[in-house]
Amino acid sequence: MLVTNSSLIGTPILSLQSGSAVGYISEPIIDPDTLKIIAFRLSGPLVRAADILDVKSVREYSQLGMVIDSIDELSTPEDVINISKILKLNFSLIGLKVETKKHSKLGKITGYTLTSDDFMIQQIIVQRPILKALIDPELTISRKEIVEITDYKVIVKDEEKTLKSRAEHEDFIPNFVNPFRKQEPDYNPSKTDNS
């Protein structure tokens, strides 16, 4: 199931042991190398300020919330080395600029979609600059189009290259008639009016 990043924020963390919510998601922690959510920062009355939830501890994600075995599944960043390294990068996908390999500016990331079974980001949602927003206010870019991610921007494949490759595969032959152009009658010199 595809989920938007905005629907994740505030999702309750439900403990099977206590049968109630132990906290709420306040922020996802994203690995920039794989574009995968690896953990969540939490908030709530039963959660300490530094507590995080590793996605490996999530049993199920549903409309009710994320189900874990118990509050013991929560850890601090120092407990999990991999998560600690990612946190030191202080990476946030929201707000990054998006441009093509030819440095054409496409806009800024305002959201993303992910799959709920593996928390892998599938698409980024880009808000267009003012002039380009008149034609197309938002772009949805697949993860397959992403070439590189830096601290400040996401670089995607060139639009022109993508369009060219599609046209080459389709063997496009225009078959339209311009209604404003005068049509010349078919003239066949072998036929004459006297015959």
Q: Read off the pLDDT of residues 132-191 as tens digits, 9 standing for 90 and up.
A: 666 767 888 999 999 999 989 999 997 654 434 333 444 444 455 555 555 555 555 555
Mean predicted confidence (pLDDT) in 36-50: 89
| Helices and strands counted in the chain (H then E) | 4, 13
Q: Which pairs count as long-range contacts for 156-160, CB under 8 Å and 24+ apart, including other chains?
A: 156/98, 156/99, 156/100, 156/101, 156/106, 157/100, 157/101, 158/100, 158/101, 158/102, 158/104, 159/100, 159/104, 160/102
pLDDT of residue 185: 55
Domains of the chain: 2-84 (2.30.30.240), 97-163 (2.30.30.240)
Residue 24, pLDDT > 90, answer: yes
Residue 64, pLDDT > 70, answer: yes
pLDDT of residue 11: 95
pLDDT of residue 77: 79
